[in-house]
C-alpha cells in the first residue's frame, strides 16, 4: 500500500472515530433538547464540545455551535441550575418563567435516557449482525514464566484452573469471569487458585502473590500479573524460506505436537525450550491435516536480523488459533446487563483500597478515541465498534445519573431537594459548588487523558508469537 493510500486510510479512520464520538454526544444532548422543548423551557444554546464556540449559528432563538474543548457537549437551559463555568458564558439575560421540579427532573433524565436508548439500538444491531466472540475458552496453563509468582506457588504447565479466589472461572480471557480478568481484578495480597492436575484425582488449592508491570510516572500503573499463559495448539501459519523448518519439510497448517518427546502446550513453551537448548538439534512431532504424525529433526539457527535474536527454526505461528473469533449474536438485554456489570466491577475496583485498579486506569476522550481507532483496524472492526457503543452509552447514561453537581443526576437531586423544601437551592452557594465540581471533573479528565497519552510511549507492545524471518 502506498504512503498516500495509507495516509488517506488513517485520515478516514480518524474521521470515523470523531463522527462516532460526536454522534454519541449528540444523541445524549438531543434528549435534553427535546425534553426541554416538550416542557416549554427556554433554550439558549445547543453545543457539541465545551468552551467558546469555534462555529455557531442561531436558528429560531437557539444558538447551535461547536466548542473548542473536545470533551462533551451541552444544552444551555438557564431555567435549570446555571452552568456558565463549563458552558462558556450565556446570552443576554431575559426574564425567566419559573419551571417546576418535575420539569427539571424530566429534562435532566432525558439525556441518560437517550444514551440508554442508543445503547439498546446498538445492541439490537449487534444482535442482528453479530460480533466476534473474542474469547479464549481454554483454562489450561500452557506456559509459566521463570521465577514468576505462579511458578513459585507450584502451578504447572498442563494444570486446569477451575476457580480463582473461590469463584469459578469462565475461559482464560474475554469475560469478567475469565482467569486473566480475575487476576487483574483480584484484591488483597494473595491470589488463590483451584486447579485440576493431570494424574491427580482431587482438585488442588494453591496461593500466589503477584507482580505488576513497571511503568513511568506519566503512564498508568501496571496491572496484576502472575506469569501464566493459556494452552493452545502450535499451528504453523507459515514457514520462512531456507529456514531449518523449511528444510525439514514443515508446511503451513501443520501442528507441532511435541518437542523432544515433551507435550507441547503453547507457542511460548516452544520458544522457551529453544532458548534453553540453545543450538542443539530438537525432534519435533508434527501432525498434518490428515491427523498423521511424523518425526522431524531441526537445528535452531540465529537469524541475521534482528541482531542478538534467540535461536529460531523459521516457523511463523498462527496466533489466531488461540482466540475464538466466531461471530456470536448476544441478546440486546444481555448486552446491556453485561455492560452494567462491567461498570459496577470497574467502579467497585477503583474504590477498593486493596485493589490495583485506580482512577488512572479510567479512560478519557483520547483513550476512548484511540480504542475505537484500534478496533476499526481489526477484522470485523465495525462489529466491534457497534458492541463498544453499547458499553460506552451504558457507561455514559449511568455516570451522568450520579448525584453530583454539573451531572444530570446532580440536577435531579437539586430538583428533588427543591420539591422537598419548597424553594430552589440558593444561587450563590450552588454556583460555587458547581464551579468546584466542574474543576474537579475537568482535572480528572485531564489526568486520565495524560495517562491515555503517556501509555502511547513505551507501553502496549504486543508480545510477538511468530519467529523472525530468515534471510
Give tens-digit pLDDT for 336-358.
999 999 999 999 999 999 999 99
Rg (CA), the chain: 28
Same domain, 165 and 200: yes
Instruction: With respect to residue 416, please indicate whether it lies within any of the assigned structural domains.
Output: yes
Share of the chain above pLDDT 90, in %: 60
pLDDT grade for 297, boundaries at 50, 70 and 90: very high
Query: What pLDDT score was predicted for residue 322?
Result: 78
Over residues 156-195, the pLDDT tens digits come to: 999 999 999 999 999 999 999 999 999 999 999 999 999 9
Residue 21 shares a structural domain with residue 78: yes
Residue 124 sits in the same domain as residue 204: no
Do 82 and 152 lie in one domain? The reply is no
Number of domains in the chain: 3
Whether 448 is covered by a domain: the verdict is no
- Residue 221 counted as domain residue: yes
Asked if residue 51 belongs to a domain, the reply is: yes
Q: Nearest to residue 62, comparing CAs of 76, 80, 50? A: 76
* Same domain flag for 197 and 249: no
Q: Say if residue 169 is in the same domain as residue 208.
A: yes
Give which of 396, 381, 416, 342 is closest to 22, Cα–Cα. 396
Q: How much is the average pLDDT of 126-130?
A: 97
Distance in angstroms (rounded) separating the CA atoms of residues 231 and 267: 8
Q: Which of 318, 342, 366 is the last residue of a domain?
A: 318
Q: Are residues 402 and 309 in the same domain?
A: no
CATH number of the domain bearing residue 156: 2.30.42.10
In a domain, 71, yes or no: yes
451 assigned to some structural domain: no
Residue 349 lies in a domain: no
The mean pLDDT of 443-461, rounded to a whole number, is 83
The CA distance from 235 to 150, in Å, is: 26
pLDDT tens, residue by residue, 401-434: 999 888 999 999 999 998 898 888 777 787 788 8
How far apart are alpha carbons 469 and 447 in whole angstroms?
41
263 band by pLDDT with thresholds 50, 70 and 90: very high
Whether 340 is in a domain gets the answer no
Do 217 and 260 sit in the same domain of this protein?
Answer: no
Residue 143 dihedral angles phi and psi, to the nearest 5°: -160, 140
164 and 223 inside one domain: yes
CA of 399: how far to CAs of 107, 118, 181, 388, 446, in Å? 16, 15, 23, 16, 17
Beta strand 62-66 with 204-208 is unpaired
C-alpha span between 309 and 292 (Å, rounded): 33
97 lies in the same domain as 168: no
Q: Specify the range with the lowest mean pLDDT, choosing from 88-92, 318-322, 408-412, 425-429.
A: 88-92
Q: What are phi and psi of 287, to 5 degrees?
A: -110, 125
Range of the domain at 41: 3-129+379-425
- Helix/strand/coil for 303: coil
Show the beta-strand stretches assigned E in 84-223.
131-132, 141-144, 160-164, 167-168, 191-196, 204-208, 211-212
Q: Are 301 and 244 in contact (CB under 8 A)?
A: yes
Q: Where a domain ends, among 184, 206, 230?
A: 230
Of 41-45, 50-54, 304-308, which has the strongest mean pLDDT?
41-45
Coil, helix or strand at residue 195: strand
Through-space distance between the first and last CA atoms of the chain, rounded to whole angstroms: 23
Q: Is there a single domain that holds both residue 120 and residue 164?
A: no
- Do 206 and 284 lie in a common domain? no
Grid coordinates belonging to 426: 440558593
Q: Is the pTM of this model over 0.95?
A: no
Amino acid at each position: 500500500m502506498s504512503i498516500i493510500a495509507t495516509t488517506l486510510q488513517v485520515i478516514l479512520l480518524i474521521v470515523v472515530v470523531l463522527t462516532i464520538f460526536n454522534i454519541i454526544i449528540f444523541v445524549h444532548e438531543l434528549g435534553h433538547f427535546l425534553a426541554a422543548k416538550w416542557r416549554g423551557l427556554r433554550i439558549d444554546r445547543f453545543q457539541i464540545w465545551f468552551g467558546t464556540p469555534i462555529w455557531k449559528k442561531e436558528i429560531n432563538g437557539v444558538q447551535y455551535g461547536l466548542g473548542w474543548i473536545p470533551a462533551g457537549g451541552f444544552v444551555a437551559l438557564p431555567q435549570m441550575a446555571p452552568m456558565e463555568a463549563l458552558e462558556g458564558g450565556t446570552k443576554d439575560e431575559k426574564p425567566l418563567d419559573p419551571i417546576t421540579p418535575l420539569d427539571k427532573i424530566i429534562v435532566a433524565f432525558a439525556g441518560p435516557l437517550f444514551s440508554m436508548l442508543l445503547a439498546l439500538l446498538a445492541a439490537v444491531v449487534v444482535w442482528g449482525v453479530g460480533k466476534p466472540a473474542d474469547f479464549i475458552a481454554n483454562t489450561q496453563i500452557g506456559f509459566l514464566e521463570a521465577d514468576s509468582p505462579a511458578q513459585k506457588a507450584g502451578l504447572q504447565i498442563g494444570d486446569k484452573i477451575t476457580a480463582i479466589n473461590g469463584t469459578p472461572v469462565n475461559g482464560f480471557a474475554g469475560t469478567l469471569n475469565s482467569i486473566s480478568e480475575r487476576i487483574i481484578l483480584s484484591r488483597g495480597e494473595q491470589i488463590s487458585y483451584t486447579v485440576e492436575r493431570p494424574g491427580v484425582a482431587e482438585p488442588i488449592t494453591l496461593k500466589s502473590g503477584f507482580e505488576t508491570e513497571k511503568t513511568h510516572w506519566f503512564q498508568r500503573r501496571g496491572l496484576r500479573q502472575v506469569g501464566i499463559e493459556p494452552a493452545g495448539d502450535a499451528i504453523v501459519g507459515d514457514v520462512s524460506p531456507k529456514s531449518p523448518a523449511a528444510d525439514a519439510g514443515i508446511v503451513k497448517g501443520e501442528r507441532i505436537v511435541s518437542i523432544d518427546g515433551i507435550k507441547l502446550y503453547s507457542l511460548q513453551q516452544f520458544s522457551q525450550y529453544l532458548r534453553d537448548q540453545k543450538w542443539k538439534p530438537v525432534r519435533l512431532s508434527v501432525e498434518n491435516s490428515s491427523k498423521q504424525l511424523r518425526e522431524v529433526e531441526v537445528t535452531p539457527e540465529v537469524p541475521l536480523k534482528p541482531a542478538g535474536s534467540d535461536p529460531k527454526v523459521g516457523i511463523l505461528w498462527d496466533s489466531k488459533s488461540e482466540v475464538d473469533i466466531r461471530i456470536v449474536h448476544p441478546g440486546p438485554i444481555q448486552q446491556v446487563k453485561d455492560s452494567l456489570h462491567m461498570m459496577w466491577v470497574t467502579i467497585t475496583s477503583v474504590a477498593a483500597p486493596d485493589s490495583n485498579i485506580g482512577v488512572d486506569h479510567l479512560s478519557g476522550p483520547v483513550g476512548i478515541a484511540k480504542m475505537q481507532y484500534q478496533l476499526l483496524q481489526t477484522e470485523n472492526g465495525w462489529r466491534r465498534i457497534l458492541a463498544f457503543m453499547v458499553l460506552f452509552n451504558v457507561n455514559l447514561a449511568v455516570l451522568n445519573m450520579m448525584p453530583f453537581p454539573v451531572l444530570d443526576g446532580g440536577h435531579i437531586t437539586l430538583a428533588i431537594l427543591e420539591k422537598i423544601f419548597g424553594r430552589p437551592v440558593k444561587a450563590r452557594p450552588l454556583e460555587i459548588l458547581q464551579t468546584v465540581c466542574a474543576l474537579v471533573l475537568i482535572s480528572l479528565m485531564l489526568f486520565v487523558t495524560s495517562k491515555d497519552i503517556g501509555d502511547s510511549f513505551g507501553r502496549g507492545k504486543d508480545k510477538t508469537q511468530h519467529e523472525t524471518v530468515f534471510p
